[in-house]
Amino acid sequence: MEALPMESNPDTMNKYLQKLGVPDNWRMVDVIGLEEEALGWVPRPVLAVVLLFPLSDAYEVHRTIEESELKTSQEELPKNVFHLKQVLSNVCGTIALVHSIANNDNKIQLVDGLLKSYIDEAKGLNSAAKGELLERSTAILEAYKDLVRSTSHETEQTEEPVNYHFVTFIHKDGHLYELDGRKDRPIDHGPTTAEGLLEDAAKVCREFIKREPDNIGFNVVALVPAQ
């Protein structure tokens, strides 16, 4: 099926998450800047950080080098990280949200619904199989289409080229992981804590921006408790 690309818009994301069964005591909020003062405005605790960035040659080169180094390093896959590969086009926004919730389902009390069913079925599968299962979980993708149709003037959105991509950063077992559906595995960015997730993820986001000095197409949101 054909999916609609997602905007990095917390209001739309929150409505979508609620349709999928995420309780309204958790929500996505804008991160207005990546420096210390701006990060201080973000409610805590932060469970996940989602970066929207431009797909570019620089990203593809970096991704190729990174994955090649991982293959030669023989680094073990983290056991407790929920990571899925992107199979369909235009679903990286949904994947980023799934990564955010599935890796925090010990803190978020999902109600019975589309997302809980998907996560329960996907646990134990490898990244590729998780991606294929999402492809077959058409109700999850249709829920976003229905939301867009009911809340916006979306018309020709599916025909325009999508040149942006979402990735998620989470804390798991003392490490900062980058979860990208276009990569074969989670990327371990080193030690972090639940309390330091936002600051450490912001450092990695700044590295993304540094690779694209002439591009302003970046946006960051975080999964936090509703105030």
Distance CA 148, CA 150 (A): 5
Distance CA 185, CA 126 (A): 10
- Select from 224, 161, 169, 225 the least CA-distant residue to 202: 169
SS3 (DSSP) at 171: strand
Distance CA 171, CA 58 (A): 26
State which H helix or E strand residue 151 sits in. Answer: helix 138-151
Distance CA 206, CA 224 (A): 21
| Catalytic sites, residue numbers | 92, 165
Is the CB of residue 78 less than 8 Å from the CB of residue 188? yes
Distance CA 22, CA 25 (A): 8
Integer CA distances (angstroms), 34 to 13, 171, 175, 201, in order? 21, 18, 20, 9
Residues β-bridged to residue 165: 53
